[in-house]
Amino acid sequence: MILPNSLTLSLGGLVAGILAGFLGIGGGTVLVPLMVALGYTPLQAVATSSLAIAITSISGSIQNWRMGYFDSHRVLYLGLPALFTAQIGVYLASKFASYQLLIAFGLLLLTNIYLVDLKKRLINLTNREPTHRINPAIARVCTGGAAGLLAGLFGVGGGVIMVPMQILLLGEPIKIAIQTSLGVIILTAISACLGHTLSNNVLFIQGTLLGIGGLLGVQFSTRILPKLPDNTVSIVFRLTLGLLSLYVFWQAWQILHS
């Protein structure tokens, strides 16, 4: 079966994979608006994005493991609570009207612009002795739980929340936070994908196309993109999120008034 949008889906997955490897995020911030633009419902976009993110995050984490940057203990500490909260997100996603889901997703995109900027400022904290303002176990449950909830609700990996929270609450260096985040996204995305599959929301052909593109993109970014200037990548990424949020709000407006 040849899909008319197969090339667009693959290229979208490629971009999402590049973002996943460089910023430790799943790429749903790109995939969900892309699928909505191609005519899929917001719920289908969220559900199918989780499948693509699972493929992308597995690929990126394998590459990190080969380079000696994968810590399974850190991943499990954050990933286990995320497995449960992802199912809560899946349940909540089915309760929103399409325009409500899009508005909430647009607000998440705008929040991500701030969090990406916050993550950059928090790099200065990584040269200090880690300090825990709350119990580390509680911090891990909160961090992983927030990531899982976002994965199920919005079809994102949750990394854009996990990375700043790891730095703030656990005192993790920025690079370790990104690498751990990508590993945890495997668990959040798989959990969310299974939940959406049981509800018949996942489009497997489209999700596989997105995932193949993401697989290629994440291999590139884990090797090459960290060498690029942080300021350039940060500006482009925040600009992309801003434009995507405007498009998502416009889509919500169209659905509300249709």
Per-residue pLDDT at 48 exceeds 90: yes
Q: What does the pLDDT average to over 4-25?
A: 80
Q: What does the pLDDT average to over 227-247?
A: 75
The owner of tokens 């899929």 is: 40
Domain spans, the chain: 6-256
Asked if 53 contacts 27 with a C-beta cutoff of 8 angstroms, the reply is: yes
Banded model confidence at residue 1, pLDDT cuts 50, 70, 90: very low
Tell me the H-state helices in the chain. 6-23, 28-37, 42-66, 72-93, 98-121, 136-154, 159-170, 174-198, 204-223, 230-256
pTM of the model: 0.74
Which of the 8 DSSP states describes residue 126? G
Lowest mean pLDDT segment, chosen from 89-103, 117-131, 178-192: 117-131
Integer angstrom CA distances of residue 20 from 84, 106, 216, 225, 226: 23, 19, 11, 11, 12
Q: Report the half-sphere exposure of 13 (CA within 13 A, side-chain side).
A: 31
Asked if 226 contacts 22 with a C-beta cutoff of 8 angstroms, the reply is: yes
